[in-house]
Amino acid sequence: MAESVCDVSSLKEGQARVYRVNGKHVAIYFDGEDVFAFSPNCPHARANLTKGTFQKDAVRCHWHGWRFSLQDGKGLNNDAELKTYPASIRDGEVMVELVEPEGQPKQEEGEDSFMPEIKWKN
């Protein structure tokens, strides 16, 4: 069942934000037409992907440059997979289904510990 996450008008085109949906952290990216829902942490080193670079339906991790399709989570320059969720806009609301689509990596116990951007001190 799809859950209402936010009003689409609250999203900035070309940016992603993290929301808590039924106890899970979910990143929402709005490209101006469509919305994409995905795990906010890179499967490689758990970097915050909302700080990455977005190009239409792909995200590039700002830590090591790994790229992922936001359509299906497939690594575009690596063999890893990003957890994605079905998302849509319905009557101005962003809707997300927290399902485990076939072929997607399963979310492990305790994996939902969202890691915000780390600022290192020298």
pLDDT of residue 109: 42
Q: Rounded CA gap, 76 and 106, in Å? A: 19
pLDDT, one tens digit per residue, over 61-90 is 999 999 999 999 999 999 999 999 999 999
In a domain, 21, yes or no: yes
- Residue 45 tokens, joined: 């080193």
Which pair of structure tokens corresponds to residue 48? 């915050």
Q: Which domain holds residue 72?
A: 2-97
Q: What length does the chain have?
A: 122
CATH number, domain with residue 15: 2.102.10.10
Render 70-97 in DSSP notation, one character per residue.
TTT-BBSSSS-B--EE-EEEETTEEEEE
Question: CA 98 to CA 90: how far, in whole Å?
Answer: 16
93 located within any domain: yes
For the entire predicted model, the pTM comes to 0.82
Look at the chain and report how many structural domains it folds into.
1
Tens of pLDDT, residue by residue over 34-69, are 999 999 999 999 999 999 999 989 999 999 999 999
The verdict on residue 50 lying in a domain is yes
For residue 48, what pLDDT is reported?
Answer: 96
